[in-house]
Amino acid sequence: MSHVQSRAFVATDTPGRYIGRLCKHFAHKIPVSFDEQQGRIEFELGLALLQAEDGGLALSVQAANDGDRQRLEQVVGSHFERFAWQEALTLDWQARE
């Protein structure tokens, strides 16, 4: 099965905080694993991966088709932006081959 994916990066001094918040939020309903450096959220539509990097947080989503990928971008992005309101952070998703 081929996958389509996209990635976003946001500059923040506290990537681990956002990994924890997002993963704990979704863990009530779907399979999640995470630590301070990375997170994995398994949606029915596909997969979201979070990675702490130098200078910020990298988020990626992958799904079986473009429609599901775009839906995952919306879901993950809206929750991230809600949790990041104090820093006024937003995500700019870039599709990847």
Which two three-digit tokens encode residue 86? 């104090």
Q: State residue 97's pLDDT score.
A: 63
pLDDT at 2: 58
The two counts, helices (H) then strands (E), for the chain are 2, 6
| Cα dihedral 56→32→46→50 (10° resolution) | 10
AA letter at 97: E
62 pLDDT more than 60: yes
Distance, CA of 35 to CA of 95 (rounded, Å): 26
Over residues 17-43, the mean pLDDT reads: 96
Helix, strand, or coil (residue 2): coil
Q: Look at residue 10 and tell me whether its pLDDT is greater than 90.
A: yes
Domains of the chain in start order, with CATH, are 4-88 (3.30.310.50)
Tens of pLDDT, residue by residue over 45-58, are: 999 999 999 999 99
* % of the chain beyond a pLDDT of 70: 97
Return the DSSP state at 92.
-
* % of the chain with per-residue pLDDT over 90: 81
pLDDT of the residue at 52: 97
